[in-house]
């Protein structure tokens, strides 16, 4: 008589943007008891060090032009592992449901009949800006903020994001994964009526000891990115609130 298949549970866990101190209590608890952990490319060694030493650790990271597995293969791997193990952690940078493709993985698991739970993480749009001393809102300068991706589905540019419409609709714009398309994004924002002198900040490797903040203007953003050799991962922030960081000095302790 064949042994019945295990139907484990998959946890889509947000690891935060890099600093191990931003890992949630729930995330830490799951990493310590996991049977299997599938983790992204940008997970810090300190966070990986928390994983149950007996757990199977599988790197499934994707960087531009270098995918360990396709998104479909990752979902298939999660489904297969749920037939073999009880606690499967899919460890994702930031928050699973903010430009982390957690929605796609969650849907695939549910359709396959696999129990799934989402554990939120601190997204870089919140954490990296705080570590860069940029408040996203302020009663006098910003009553609205939007998170938007600069890297949409492969093969799609013209984008779904209407940058020209967004340009003056929101006070603070936080752009994830926008470096590669900066040459398209900046002209679209200018065409939409955003002031060329609007402050713009690049936050490179946010919340890590390698964090670097470069402040410029929307008009000079493309030239500054090239001159300063801004590298991924980098967050782009646009808005008057950036000017406030000059009035205090409270850098994080890494």
Q: Say if residue 65 is in the same domain as residue 145.
A: no
pLDDT number for residue 233: 96
Distance of alpha carbon 229 from alpha carbon 70, whole angstroms: 29
Q: Say if residue 128 is in the same domain as residue 42.
A: no
Distance of alpha carbon 235 from alpha carbon 178, whole angstroms: 7
Distance of alpha carbon 72 from alpha carbon 243, whole angstroms: 43
Q: Is 57 a catalytic residue?
A: no
Residue 64 has pLDDT above 70, yes or no: no
Percentage of residues of the chain with pLDDT beyond 90: 85
Domain boundary among 119, 137, 157: 119
Q: What six digits make up the tokens of 145? A: 């903020």
Q: Say if residue 82 is in the same domain as residue 152.
A: no
pLDDT number for residue 160: 83
253 within domain boundaries: no
State the chain's mean pLDDT as an integer.
Answer: 93
**Considering only 6-10, 146-150, 165-169, 199-203, which range has the smallest mean pLDDT?**
6-10
More confident residue, 70 or 123: 123
Angle between helices 71-81 and 102-111 (to 10 degrees): 50
Q: What six digits make up the tokens of 35? A: 């049977």
Residue 156 has pLDDT above 90, yes or no: no
* Tens of pLDDT, residues 42-58: 999 999 999 999 999 99
Q: Is 62 a catalytic residue?
A: yes
The whole-number average pLDDT for the span 86-105 is 97
Catalytic residue, from 40, 92, 95, 171: name it: 40
Q: pLDDT grade, residue 2 (50/70/90)?
A: low
Cis peptide before 233 (omega within 30 of 0): yes
pLDDT number for residue 1: 46
Catalytic residue, from 19, 92, 95, 177: name it: 177
Residue 6 has pLDDT above 90, yes or no: no
Q: pTM of the predicted model, to two decimals? A: 0.91
Domain count, the chain: 2
Catalytic residue, from 9, 57, 62, 184: name it: 62
* Tens of pLDDT, residues 12-34: 999 999 999 999 999 999 999 99
Q: pLDDT grade, residue 159 (50/70/90)?
A: low
Percentage of residues of the chain with pLDDT beyond 70: 92
Q: Say if residue 240 is in the same domain as residue 129.
A: yes
Distance of alpha carbon 141 from alpha carbon 153, whole angstroms: 33
1 within domain boundaries: no
Structural domain harbouring 178:
124-246
Domain boundary among 65, 100, 119: 119
* Tens of pLDDT, residues 160-208: 899 999 999 999 999 999 999 999 999 999 999 999 999 999 999 999 9
237 within domain boundaries: yes
Q: Say if residue 92 is in the same domain as residue 156.
A: no
pLDDT number for residue 3: 55
């Amino acid at each position: 008589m064949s042994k019945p298949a295990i139907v484990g549970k998959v946890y889509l866990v947000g690891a935060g943007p890099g600093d191990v101190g931003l890992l949630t209590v729930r995330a830490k608890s799951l990493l310590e008891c996991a049977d299997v952990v599938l983790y992204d490319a940008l997970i810090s060694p300190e966070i990986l060090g928390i994983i149950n030493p007996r757990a199977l650790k599988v790197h499934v990271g994707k960087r531009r032009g270098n995918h360990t597995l396709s998104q479909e293969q990752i979902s298939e791997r999660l489904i297969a592992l749920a037939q073999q193990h009880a606690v499967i952690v899919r460890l994702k940078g930031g928050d699973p449901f903010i430009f982390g493709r957690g929605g796609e993985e969650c849907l695939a698991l549910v359709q396959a009949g696999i129990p799934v739970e989402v554990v939120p993480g601190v997204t870089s749009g919140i954490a990296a800006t705080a570590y860069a001393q940029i408040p996203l809102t302020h009663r006098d300068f910003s009553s609205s903020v939007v998170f938007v991706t600069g890297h949409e589905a492969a093969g799609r540019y013209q984008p779904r994001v209407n940058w020209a419409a967004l340009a003056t609709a929101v006070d603070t714009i936080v752009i994830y994964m926008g470096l590669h398309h900066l040459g398209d994004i900046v002209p679209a924002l200018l065409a939409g009526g955003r002031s060329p002198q609007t402050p713009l900040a690049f936050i490179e490797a946010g919340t890590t000891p390698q964090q670097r903040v470069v402040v410029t203007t929307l008009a000079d953003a493309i030239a500054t990115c090239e001159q300063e050799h801004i590298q991924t991962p980098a967050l782009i922030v646009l808005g008057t609130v950036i000017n406030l960081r000059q009035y205090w000095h409270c850098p994080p302790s890494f």
